[in-house]
C-alpha cells in the first residue's frame, strides 16, 4: 500500500517522479504529493485525490529540481486530505519525508514530542516519525543518517522511508522494514520506488533493499548499511520486464488487458516446466526439495484475499492427488493465534506481490517453528520470495489492475504443477492419470483464448444485472472456491454486495434471500457434482431467483434452467477452475464499467497490502 518514488541525478526530477506515481497509483490513490529540492530550496506540493489532480494543481508552480521524492497514498492514519497527504515536512522546515507502512507506537512518541514543544499539522504517524528524527538530529548534533538509525531502533511497525534534507541537495536517505523498496542504477543517477514499474523505462539494473537496511543515495553513489552502521555490498539484479508490460496497449482498462493476457501468461507459467509430450514437469524448487514436500506431515497454505481462494483450490487438488492433509489459513488470522507448527510441516505462501504484510509475519513465525517454506509469488525479488526456502514464480508479469486476475490463474497453474510433481514422485497417482492431467493443463491457454473470444456475451449479462443490489455465487467441489472468487471480484469492482457459498450449503441459510430480484450465479460445469448442482438450480428456479450459469460445452440441461448462461470448453474437473474463473472476471469487469466505476482503482482498495 502507498507508492513511493525518488530520483537524484542530472534529469529534472519532477517529470520522472510524476510518471512514476502514475504507474504506482494502483498501490493507493487517496492523495499524492512531491517534495523537490533545488539547491537548498525545498518545495513541497500535495493534493487530495488521484495523481492527475496533483498534476493539474502543479501547473505554473516551481518544479525545478534534480532531486525529489513523491508519494501516492492509501490512507491509514488520518482521512484523505491535503494536510494528511505526503510528503510531510519537519517542524524546522529542513526535512521532507514519505512513508509506506504503519508506525505502531507513534502515539507514545507523539506524546514525548508534544512535551518537548512540538505541534502537528496532520493526523499521520509519518509526521510523528519525521519530527522524532528531527528531534534526535537537533539534540544530538548528528547527521540525518545517524538520527534516522537511532529513530528506527525506537519505532515498531512497518516502513519504507525516503528522506531529503535541505542541507544535502543531492542525497536521498532511505530505509525499509516490511514495505518494499527497489533502487534503480542509472548512469550518474539513481531511481527509488516501491516496485520496478517506475524504473524500467530508465534502467534494468536494480538493487532490492532488505529489511533493516539504510540506503544513502546520491547521483553517482549508492551506499547500503544495516542499523548497526556496517556497510553492505549491494547485490545488483537485472530486471526481466519490458515497458510494454506496464502500459495499457490499447485496452480501455488495465483490468481488461490483464484478463485478455491470460492465454499468454498461463502459457508463460507452463513454458519450460511442463512438457506434455515427454510427460515431465521440471520445477527446480520442487525437485531439489522433493523429500520435504512428498514426506510432509501436512501442508499449510497461508494467503490473503484472492490468493486465499487459490489456496482453497490447491487444498482440494493436493489432497486428491498427493494424499497429504492440507489446511488453508488466512495469514492475518494465523499470525495472531497460537498455531501448532512442527518440523516436517510444509508452509505454502501464496502472494501476488510477495510483500503482503500479514503473510510475511506469519511466515517468519512458521519458519522459527521449523516449518519448510515454499513461496508462490509473482514479483521477482520480493520479500516472500527471499524468506522462502524454495518456491516457484507465476511469471504473470506486472499486474496493474487492483483486482487480481492473471495472477490468480498463474497461481492455479503453478499449484497444479506442484501437486502433480509431488504426486508422481510419491506414487499417489497413476501414470495414466498423470499423463491425462498434463495434457489437460497444457491445453488451458488455448481454451482460455476460446472463452475470451465470446466475452461480449458476458457484457450482455452484466448489462442485464448491473442494477441488482445483491448476488449469490454457488459452486461445488473444485469450483466452490471459484464461487468465492467470483463474489469477491464483483464486490471489488462493482460495489454490489455478493456472497459465495458451497451450493449445498445454500439451504442452510442463504436460500432465505432468494426472490425474483436476486441473481444467482452457478459454476455448473460437467463434473462429478453436476447432477447435484442441477438440483440446486432447480431449487433456486422454484423460488423465482434469476439464474446465471457457467456451464460446459454440450450441456443441454443447465441452459433450460438458466435465465442466462455462458459456456466454456470441456476440461477435467481438477483443471476446470482455471477456466471457470475467466467468465466471472469478465462479468465483474463489465458490471463495473456499466456502473461507471473506475475498475482499475476501485474505492478504498490498494493492490499490495503492506500494512496490517
Q: Is 60 left (phi over 0), alpha (psi -120 to 50) or beta?
A: left
Q: In what order do the strands lie in the sheet with 519-523?
A: 497-502, 470-475, 519-523, 546-552, 564-568
- What is the rounded distance in angstroms from the CA atom of residue 102 to the CA atom of residue 125? 7
Task: Give pairs for 576-579: CB < 8 Å, separation 24+.
Answer: 576/478, 576/479, 576/525, 576/527, 577/313, 577/412, 577/478, 577/479, 577/481, 577/482, 578/266, 578/409, 578/412, 578/413, 578/416, 578/444, 578/448, 579/444, 579/447, 579/448, 579/451
| CB distance 437 to 420 below 8 Å | yes
Q: In the annotation, is 607 catalytic? A: yes
The CA R_g of the chain, rounded to the nearest whole Å, is 25
Indicate which residue of 2, 160, 304, 322 is catalytic: 2
Q: The C-alpha cell of 86 is what?
A: 505526503
Has 2 been annotated as catalytic? yes
Contact present, 293 and 321 (Cβ < 8 Å): no
The CB density around residue 148, as the number of other CB atoms within 10 Å, is 26
**Cα first-last separation, the chain:** 10
50, 94, 491, 607: which one is catalytic? 607
Collect all residues with Cβ–Cβ distance below 8 Å to 345 and sequence separation of at least 6. 296, 297, 298, 299, 300, 366, 370, 371, 372
347: enclosing H helix or E strand: strand 346-351
Give yes or no for a contact between 522 and 487, defined as CB atoms under 8 angstroms apart.
Answer: no
Active site (catalytic) residues: 2, 607
Amino acid at each position: 500500500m502507498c507508492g513511493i518514488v525518488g530520483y537524484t541525478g542530472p534529469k529534472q526530477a519532477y517529470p520522472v517522479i510524476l510518471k512514476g506515481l502514475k504507474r504506482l497509483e494502483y498501490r493507493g490513490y487517496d492523495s499524492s504529493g512531491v517534495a523537490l529540492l533545488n539547491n537548498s530550496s525545498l518545495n513541497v506540493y500535495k493534493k487530495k485525490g488521484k495523481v492527475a489532480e496533483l498534476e493539474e494543481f502543479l501547473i505554473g508552480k516551481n518544479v525545478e529540481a534534480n532531486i525529489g521524492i513523491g508519494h501516492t497514498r492509501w490512507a491509514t492514519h488520518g482521512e484523505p486530505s491535503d494536510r494528511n497527504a505526503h510528503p510531510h515536512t519537519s517542524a524546522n522546515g529542513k526535512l521532507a519525508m514519505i512513508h509506506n507502512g504503519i508506525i505502531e507506537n507513534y502515539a507514545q512518541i507523539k506524546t514525548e514530542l508534544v512535551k518537548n514543544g512540538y505541534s502537528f499539522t496532520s493526523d499521520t504517524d509519518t509526521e510523528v516519525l519525521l519530527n522524532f528524527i528531527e528531534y534526535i538530529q537537533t539534540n544530538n548534533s548528528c547527521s540525518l543518517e545517524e538520527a534516522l538509525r537511532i529513530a528506527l531502533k525506537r519505532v515498531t511497525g512497518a516502513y519504507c522511508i525516503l528522506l531529503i534534507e535541505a542541507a544535502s541537495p543531492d542525497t536521498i536517505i532511505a530505509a525499509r522494514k516490511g514495505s518494499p523498496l527497489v533502487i534503480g542504477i542509472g548512469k550518474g543517477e539513481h531511481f527509488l520506488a516501491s516496485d520496478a514499474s517506475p524504473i524500467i523505462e530508465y534502467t534494468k539494473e536494480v538493487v532490492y533493499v532488505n529489511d533493516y537496511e539504510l540506503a544513502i543515495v546520491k547521483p553517482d553513489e549508492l551506499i547500503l548499511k544495516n542499523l548497526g552502521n556496517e556497510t553492505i555490498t549491494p547485490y545488483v539484479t537485472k530486471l526481466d520486464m519490458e515497458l510494454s508490460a506496464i502500459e495499457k496497449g490499447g485496452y480501455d482498462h488495465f483490468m481488461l488487458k490483464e484478463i485478455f493476457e491470460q492465454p499468454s501468461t498461463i502459457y508463460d507459467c507452463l513454458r519450460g516446466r511442463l512438457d506434455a509430450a515427454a510427460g515431465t514437469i521440471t520445477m527446480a524448487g520442487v525437485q531439489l526439495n522433493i523429500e520435504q514436500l512428498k514426506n510432509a506431515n501436512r501442508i499449510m497454505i497461508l494467503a490473503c484475499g484472492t490468493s486465499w481462494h487459490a489456496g482453497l483450490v490447491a487444498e482440494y487438488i493436493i489432497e486428491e492427488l498427493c494424499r497429504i492433509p492440507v489446511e488453508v489459513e488466512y495469514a492475518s488470522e494465523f499470525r495472531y493465534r497460537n498455531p501448532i507448527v512442527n518440523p516436517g510441516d510444509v508452509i505454502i505462501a501464496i502472494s501476488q506481490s510477495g510483500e503482503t504484510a500479514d503473510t510475511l509475519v506469519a511466515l517468519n513465525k512458521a519458519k522459527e517453528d521449523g516449518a519448510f517454506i515454499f513461496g508462490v509469488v509473482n514479483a521477482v525479488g520480493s520479500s516472500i520470495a527471499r524468506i522462502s526456502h524454495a518456491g516457484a514464480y507465476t511469471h504473470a508479469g506486472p499486474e496493474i489492475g487492483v483486482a487480481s486476475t492473471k495472477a490468480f490463474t498463474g497461481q492455479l497453474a503453478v499449484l497444479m504443477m506442484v501437486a502433480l510433481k509431488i504426486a508422481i514422485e510419491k506414487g499417489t497417482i497413476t501414470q495414466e492419470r498423470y499423463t491425462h492431467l498434463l495434457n489437460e493443463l497444457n491445453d488451458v491457454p488455448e481454451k482460455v483464448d476460446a472463452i475470451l473470444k465470446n466475452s461480449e456475451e458476458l457484457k450482455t449479462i452484466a448489462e442485464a444485472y448491473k442494477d441488482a443490489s445483491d448476488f449469490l455465487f454457488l459452486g461445488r467441489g473444485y469450483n466452490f472456491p471459484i464461487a468465492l472468487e467470483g463474489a469477491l471480484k464483483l464486490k471489488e469492482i462493482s460495489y454490489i454486495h455478493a456472497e459465495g457459498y458451497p451450493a449445498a450449503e445454500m439451504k442452510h441459510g442463504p436460500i432465505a434471500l432468494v426472490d425474483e430480484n436476486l441473481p444467482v450465479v452457478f459454476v455448473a460445469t460437467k463434473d462429478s457434482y453436476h447432477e447435484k448442482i442441477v438440483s440446486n438450480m432447480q431449487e433456486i428456479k422454484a423460488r423465482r431467483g434469476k439464474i446465471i450459469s457457467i456451464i460446459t460445452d454440450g450441456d443441454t440441461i443447465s441452459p433450460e434452467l438458466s435465465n442466462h448462461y455462458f459456456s466454456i470448453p470441456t476440461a477435467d474437473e481438477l483443471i476446470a477452475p482455471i477456466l471457470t474463473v475467466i467468465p466471472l472476471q469478465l462479468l465483474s469487469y463489465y458490471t463495473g464499467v456499466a456502473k461507471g466505476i473506475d475498475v482499475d482503482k476501485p474505492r478504498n482498495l490498494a493492490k499490495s497490502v503492506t500494512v496490517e
